Structures are given as C-alpha cells and as structure tokens.
Amino acid sequence: MMKKMTNHVWLNEDGSPAIVDITKSYLGNKINYNDFYFKRENKYYKITHIENSGNNRYRRTIQEVDINGNLKEGTSVTEKEVVINTNY
C-alpha cells in the first residue's frame, strides 16, 4: 500500500521528468541526513554516503548492519549508482 501511495515519478507541471537534487534544500543548502537504514531480502543496510551525480542519479555507499544498526564485521562497503525519482 505504501509503495502505491508514494511510488509516483516526479514530474514538472508540463509532464516532463523533474530533475531534483535530494542532497540540497530548495535554498541550495546541503541537507545533512541523520542515519538512514533500509531492509532488503531480510538484511539491514545503512547508507553511509550519498552524492548527486546528475539527472536524478546518485552514488550511494551502503554497509550491512544488524537489526540494532551496528555495523557487521567482515561485511564490505558497497558503492552503487542509483536513480532516485520517487518518494518510495
């Protein structure tokens, strides 16, 4: 249900894709996100870094954590370029 409510691609008023930078506020100031976690396939991850690489694309660095948010020893840091253009 949450995905259906929030998984809408951001568009401009004319229907063209909206190009935004989620790392900056509307005033152009850098947004400092607190610790950010997500779960995928019964594993928990922490986003340790995110930077804009243009056109709604971001390089993010994640590391696997336990359910309490503690970094798991022996797990590698993964960097990946992703498209973020919805709230989901």
pLDDT at 85 over 70: yes
Residue with the bigger pLDDT between 75 and 53: it is 53
Q: Residue 5 region, left (φ>0) first, then alpha (ψ -120 to 50), else beta?
A: alpha
Q: 44 in helix, strand or coil?
A: strand
List Cα–Cα distances, 86 to 16, 27, 39, in angstroms: 14, 21, 18
pTM for this predicted structure? 0.69
Span 14-49, pLDDT tens digits: 989 888 888 899 898 988 888 889 898 999 999 888
